[in-house]
Amino acid sequence: MMSQVSQKLALSGRRACKVLEQARATKRRNLSPPSDEQQLTDDIITLAAKYGKYGYRRITALLNDEYGWRVNHKRVERIWRKEGLKVPQKQSKRGRL
């Protein structure tokens, strides 16, 4: 996008970012998701369905130990939030009569 704007307005990349009020660092490179992202997402959803009370930290441990993934808990948490996964709330104990 920055290169299009800079070509149309005949500006440098620095000036184009200033016109768009964008940080230059955000326009440097295009990020593509890792090639194994979909497989990891599927494994996380499978484990979350199988172990309903486990959170993303425990799922990360299972992925690393049993599934052979070498994955960071932050990456699992990002996918966890993106997929809308949640651990059910703890049920409170009923009051005794």
Question: Are 9 and 16 a contacting pair, CB within 8 Å?
Answer: yes
Range of the domain at 43: 37-82
Same domain flag for 19 and 55: no
Same domain flag for 43 and 12: no
Domain count, the chain: 2
In a domain, 14, yes or no: yes
Question: Are 13 and 2 a contacting pair, CB within 8 Å?
Answer: yes
In a domain, 4, yes or no: yes
Give the count of beta carbons closer than 10 Å to the beta carbon of residue 60. Answer: 22
Q: Looking at the whole model, is its pTM more than 0.75? A: no
pLDDT tens, N- to C-terminus, the chain (97 residues):
566 766 777 888 888 888 888 888 876 677 787 889 999 999 999 999 999 999 999 999 999 999 899 999 999 999 999 999 998 888 788 766 6
- In sequence order, what are the residues at sequence separation of 6 or more whose Cβ sits closer than 8 angstroms to the Cβ of residue 88? 52, 53
In a domain, 89, yes or no: no
In a domain, 87, yes or no: no
DSSP class of residue 36 equals: T
Same domain flag for 19 and 54: no
